Structure 1
C-alpha cells in the first residue's frame, strides 16, 4: 500500500515550568542569614542531586526562602513545584500566585508559564488574549517556547490576526534556539513553500535537527524524505530506521509504514510477524489503511476469515472502498 504522507503541522505544545540552573553554588550554613542567591543555588543542588542526595522537599524549602526574598527565578521554580507537586502538595492556586510574582518581575520563563496557565485555565479563567500578551512579552526576551506558541497563533489566526510572515519569523527565531517543534513546523513551511521559497534540502535539515531530539513527527517526516528521496538521496534503510523510531513512540502513521516495510522487506528483512504486530497497533488506533491491510493479511496470509471480516468491516466503515470489495470476495 502506498505510504501515506503526514500532514506536517503540530498543535501548540505546552511545555511547563523548566527549572533554570545556575553555575555557582555556595553552601548554606544559616538559612535566616543567607542571600536569595545562596538559597537558590543550594536549592538547585538538592533539586538536581548535585553532590548531595536528591531531595525535592528540601529543594522546595530553599527555593521558597529565596522566593520570599524576591528572587524571580526562585519564584518561578516555587510556582513550578506547586504546579507539578514536586516536594510539596500540588496546588494550582499557589502555582499561579508564585508564577505571577516572577512574571511581574519580567522573568521570561514565568511570563511564558503564566501564559500557559491563562491559556489552559489553570487556577484562573481561560483568557486567550491575556495568554498571547504574556507569550509576546516572553518572546520579546527570546524565550523559544513562547516564540513557538506565538508563531502557532499567528500561523492559524488563533486569538490574533493571522500573519504568516510573522509566524515564519518567530518559528525561525525559536528554531535557531533548537526548539524542536519550531524546527519541525519550519521544516514543513520550507517543504511546502509557505511564505518562503520551497526548499526541500532546508526542510530535510530542519527535520533532522528536530528528529535528533526525539520528536516523533520529525522522525516520521525524515523517514518519508529518505523513503521518497525528497531533499536527500533515497535510502530505504535510513527510512526504516526513522520509521522505527517514530513507531516506537506510538505515532500511528509510522507504525503503519513500518508494517508496510516489514511486509514487503523494504529497508529490512521481510517479516510477516512484525508486519502483523505493527498493522495491529495502528489498526487498534482506528487508522483505516492499517485496518484494511490487517484484514487483507488475515484473509490471504493467515487464513482467518473471522478476523479478516472484522478488520475489513472496520476499514469499510472508515471509508476504505477497497474493503467493501474485499468483504464481498470473502462471502
Structure 2
C-alpha cells in the first residue's frame, strides 16, 4: 500500500497488443521562475510540487520543493505536510515522516491517517493483529477515504495484520466500491472468483455476487466496472453473451477515459471485430489510451507510424510514441525500439543500443528479447561471437516455454549451431516439444527437415551413381 501525498498532488497509482516506445524528450519553454510569486498556501504547495516532479518545464530540485512546502506549511497547508512526509519516507527517514503525517492527522486529515496506517502496516505479520494500523486505517475510512477501506479489506483478506476474515474483507471492499474505487471492484471480483476457482464456469452464488456487484457499480458510472461488465457480456462470463451490449458498455467506459477501454475499442476498430473496420478511428482511440498512460497503446501507435500501413510512415513520430511507451512501462516498446536500432529504421544502426534495450526487456521476462540476445551473441552483432552466452539466453527463453526458442534449439541440434554438436535425436525431441505446445511453425519445420533429408539422400544417390 503506497504512501499518498494529497488530493492536489499527482499520486502514483498502484489488458491485446500488436508490436513496438521511452518517454519522449520534451522541449517545453522553461517558465520564468523569478517572476512567479507564491502568495497563498496553495501557491507554495503547487510550486513545491513542480520542483519535486519536474512538471511544467521545471527542473527537479528537491531542496526548492522542500523550501516551498515549508512555506505552505507555515500558512496551514495540510497537503504540504503530507508531501514532506512522503519525501521523508523516500529518504528513509521514518521518524521525520511520522512527524509530518501526525501534524496533518491531528488536523483530521484522512490521507495523513492513511499514510500513518501504511507505516504501521509495513510491520504487519501473518495472522497477528496489528491494532495500530487497523485503528489508523479505520479513522481514515470513517472519513470515506476509499484507499483506507481497501487497505482494511486487504488486511482481512490476506491475513497479514489480522486473522483472515473474508466477511470483513468483503464488507470493506463493498464500502470502497460504493465510493467508486476501482481497486475495490477488482478485489471483490477476484475474491469471489477465487472462492469458486478461476476456471469455474458454473453458475454459483459467488458468480452471481460478482455479476451483481459489477452491474451495481457500473450503474453508478464507474469506468472500471463498465469495462469489466463489457468483457463479461462479450465472453458470456456469468451473464448471457451479448456482443451489442458489450460494445455499448465498452464505449461508455472509453468515453470516461478508461485506458483499457480506449485500448480495446481502438483494437476492435483496427481489426474490424464487432464494428466496421476504421483504421483512423482505431488509431485515434489508441492515441487517447496512450495519452492517459497506457503503454501498449503508445507502442501500437508508434508501430503504426513505423510500418506505414494504416498511416503515412513517419519515423520521427514513431520514435516519439515508442519512447513514450517505454516511459509508460511497455516491455513491447522496449523490445521494439531495440529492433529499430538493430535494423536502422529511421536511425543509424546501433547494435550497442539495441543490445541494451533487448537486455532490459529480457530481464523483465520478455522471451522474444531473450532470443534477440541469443542472436546477438551467436552472430557477433556489435560484440564478439560468444556461443556460451548465446546458448544461455536461448535456454532462458526455452525454459519459459517459448516455442520459437525451442525451434531454434531444435534446428541447432539438427544441423549444428550455437556451438552444439549435431544430435538429430535431441533436435527431434525439441521439435516434438514445440508441436505439443501447439506450434504450427513446428509442423512447417518438420516438413522442411523431411525435404532436406530427401534432398540429401537424392544427392548421395546421384554421387554414388557417378562413382559407379
Q: Please classify the TM superposition score into its range, dividing by the shorter chain length.
A: 0.7 to 0.9
Q: Distance in 2 between matches of 1:329 and 1:87?
A: 57
In structure 1, the residue corresponding to 2:313 is in which secondary structure?
A: coil
Cα distance between partner residues in 1 of 2:392 and 2:225:
44
- Residue 303 (structure 1) aligns with: 421
Shift of 1:269: 4.1
The 8 Å contact of residues 335 and 369 in structure 2, kept in 1 or not, is answered as: yes
Distance 2:418 2:282 in 1: 49
Match of 1:286 in 2: 403
Q: Which has the higher contact order (CA 8 A, sep 6+)?
A: 2
8 Å contact kept, 1:258–1:275? yes
User: Which runs of 5 or more residues in structure 1 are unaligned?
Assistant: 1-7, 11-21
Structure 2 residue aligned with 1:42, among 148, 153, 158? 148
CA distance in 2, matches of 1:256, 1:87: 36
Report the number of matched residues.
Answer: 305
Aligned to 1:82: 188
Decide whether aligned partners of structure 1 residues 45 and 82 sit closer, same or farther in structure 2, where only a CA change above 3 A counts: closer
CA, structure 1 residues 173+317, in 2 after alignment: closer, same or farther (shift >3 Å)? closer
The Cα of 1:224 is off from its aligned counterpart by 0.6
Structure 1 residue 64 and structure 2 residue 179: aligned? no
Displacement of 1:276 after TM fit?
A: 2.2
Write the distance in 2 (CA, Å) between the matches of 1:278 and 1:120. Answer: 38
Deviation at 1:62, TM superposition (A): 2.3
Kindly indicate whether the alpha-carbon contact (under 8 Å) linking 1:246 and 1:254 is maintained by their aligned counterparts in 2.
yes
> CA–CA distance in 1 between the matches of 2:217 and 2:193?
19
The residue that corresponds to 1:318 in the other structure is 444
Q: Distance in 2 between matches of 1:87 and 1:313?
A: 37
**1: CA distance, partners of 2:429 / 2:377:** 19
Does the aligned pair in 1 maintain the 2:431–2:446 contact within 8 Å?
Answer: no
Structure 2, gaps ≥5 residues long: 1-16, 20-108, 115-133, 197-205, 433-440, 461-468
Listed one character per residue, the Cα deviations across residues 79-124 of structure 1 (whole Å, up to 9, x for unaligned) are 4223212898463322221121111111222211211222233211
1:35 Cα offset (Å)? 8.2
Instruction: Tell me the equivalent position of 2:4.
Output: none
Residue 9, structure 1, aligned to residue 18, structure 2: yes
Looking at CA atoms only, which structure, 1 or 2, has the larger radius of gyration?
2
The equivalent of 2:387 in structure 1 is: 272
Per-residue deviation at 1:308?
6.5
2:290 aligns with one of 165, 175, 186 = 175
Structure 2 vs 1, CA of residues 214 and 316 (structure 1 numbering), >3 Å: closer, same or farther? same
Are residues 244 and 146 of structure 1, via their aligned partners in 2, closer, same or farther at CA, if it must alter by over 3 Å? same
Q: CA RMSD in A?
A: 4.0
Secondary structure at the aligned position of 1:302 is classed as coil
